[in-house]
Amino acid sequence: MACYKGLDHITRSDIEALGIAPGLAERLHERLTEIIIDHGPGTPDTWLSVSKRLLSPDLPFSFHQMMYYGCYRDYGPDPPAWIPDPKIATLTNVGQLLERRGKEFLGSKYRDPISSFSDVQEFSVLNPEVVYWKAVLDEMSISFSVPPQCILRESPHVESHSPYPSGHWLPGAIFNTAKNCLSLNRKRSLDDVVVIWRDEGDENLPVCRMTLRELRADVWLAAHAISTLGLEEGSAIAIDMPMTVNSVIIYLAIILAGYVVVSIADSFAPHEISTRLKISKARAIFTQDLIIRGGKRIPLYRSSSDYPCHMVNYELVLFYSYDNLPHSVFFKSCSRIVEAQSPMAIVIPVRGSSFSMKLRDDDISWDDFLGRVKDLKEYEFAAVEQPVEAFINILFSSGTTASCLSLIASDTWHESTVPFALMKVKVQNMIQDQLSVLFIPRGTRDYEYNNTEVQ
């Protein structure tokens, strides 16, 4: 940044030299002078005003650079290019929390959500037990059937083989995170909209909305239906379908009923689906008959031969051979779930409530699945409360860069082979996920890694 002039030393000629017309250069320079008078030549407020009052996409990028580096010439490393609006920052979840309880955390040192954010972050690390995490749990209206004994139980350094080498979060707590997602609290009512979506192919239609009352009823009904499968508590149930409103309902219902969700991307090929089903030991799978994407109808459950000819898609694939010239080949879209030899499948029609294709003997349509418990519609499902250590989700990476690896629990958990890129998320992690914070918390179990390929 040393090669750039400070804003208070930039002349109209400097601006013209960037290819800007003399008249416009003069107006820009006058406006820049006003900003410097108001905010000084090199502060974050100066840049905020420059970016709002002076810069526009039609001006040369070199002028943007001149303003940015000129403003921050003496700032030091990593000057801020974007500064959140204080009013908008106050409307965020963390902003509202800090406005209400910032002085409780920091006393007179607290100023506002932006200026005090680093101080609050430091306070949360140094004082997890005293105020901060209790405030966060209260803010999120998290309820426990058995409350935790403390927020974080530190593990002594001498316990090298402790199942919680970096500490145990919320020890002793028992609850159900899906139940918390569906519960009423001071911030939401039954008539509040909780899901907004638009189905693929319905771009010209209004968006769809679902209230908490409707979501609860649908999740409860799905959980009642899942309980009729007779699976052992803690069994894994896969979801391989696009992220539709039904996938949200199914996800919450599986956790509410005390089972573990296995998340499988709807883009995976049959052998990739099969590998993940075997690794997770999934006992059932929720899926769709088709995927509608970009105007195409792509079979997901069963092969194209089960559909009328007009529904079969062919994908054009370009590749480069040894002559370094592009070649094209048409590949017929194929099924994935049946070819993956999945366990029992609950198949959801992408349109309407039925489909004409034949299901495997043990599979069932979504409509018939819910029909098993139609008399229980709107009857609350009694959530299966679980210890904080219980698993609720098995996640996979794309797995495109290497063969499957495995990790094996080295403590009292049962040993199970899973890929290196798979992470079993504990119930406690879901609390942090609701804060829209993505991190691996302290207290994750110690694992041994091994290079076992899944056959």
What distance in Å separates the CA atoms of residue 411 and residue 446, rounded to the nearest whole number?
A: 8
- Under the banding of pLDDT at 50, 70 and 90, the label for residue 334 is low
Question: Which residue did the predictor score with more confidence, 230 or 441?
Answer: 230
Token reading at 421 = 């890129």
Query: Residues 262, 239: contact at Cβ < 8 Å?
Result: yes
What distance in Å separates the CA atoms of residue 257 and residue 106, rounded to the nearest whole number?
A: 41
**pLDDT of amino acid 157:** 61
Provide mean pLDDT across the span 312-332: 42
Domain that holds residue 352: 189-384
- Under the banding of pLDDT at 50, 70 and 90, the label for residue 25 is very high
In a domain, 248, yes or no: yes
**Residue 172 CA from chain centroid, whole number:** 27
What distance in Å separates the CA atoms of residue 229 and residue 369, rounded to the nearest whole number?
A: 10
Is it the case that residue 323 has pLDDT exceeding 90?
no
- Full DSSP string of 178-215: HHHHH--BTTB-TTSEEEEE--TT-TTSPPEEEEHHHH
Identify whether residues 213 and 362 lie together within a single domain: yes
pLDDT digits (tens, 9 = 90+) for 391-440: 999 988 766 545 543 232 222 233 232 322 233 333 333 333 333 222 22
Identify whether residues 209 and 62 lie together within a single domain: no
Q: What are the backbone dihedrals phi and psi of residue 237, each rounded to the nearest 5 degrees, phi first?
A: -130, 125
Q: What single-letter amino acid sits at 161?
A: H
In a domain, 125, yes or no: no
Domain edge (last residue) among 50, 71, 92: 71
Structurally, the chain folds into a number of domains equal to 2
Domain edge (last residue) among 335, 356, 384: 384
Is pTM, for the whole model, over 0.75?
no
In a domain, 428, yes or no: no
In a domain, 77, yes or no: no
In a domain, 351, yes or no: yes
How far CA 376 is from CA of 183, 214, 220, 222, in Å, comes to 19, 14, 9, 10
In a domain, 363, yes or no: yes
In a domain, 124, yes or no: no
Token reading at 377 = 């519609």
pLDDT digits (tens, 9 = 90+) for 63-96: 999 999 999 998 878 888 888 888 898 999 889 9
- The H or E element that residue 327 is part of is strand 326-332
In eight-state DSSP terms, residue 146 is B
Torsion of CA 159, 161, 167, 173, to 10 degrees: -120
What sections of 257-314 are H helices per DSSP?
270-280
In a domain, 447, yes or no: no
CATH of the domain at 215: 3.40.50.12780
Domain edge (last residue) among 28, 50, 71: 71
What distance in Å separates the CA atoms of residue 432 and residue 423, rounded to the nearest whole number?
A: 15
Helix (H, G, I), strand (E, B) or coil at 432: helix
What distance in Å separates the CA atoms of residue 237 and residue 254, rounded to the nearest whole number?
A: 7
Phi-psi region of 117 (alpha: psi -120 to 50; beta: other; left: phi over 0): alpha
pLDDT digits (tens, 9 = 90+) for 127-178: 888 788 888 898 889 999 999 999 888 876 655 566 777 788 899 999 999 9
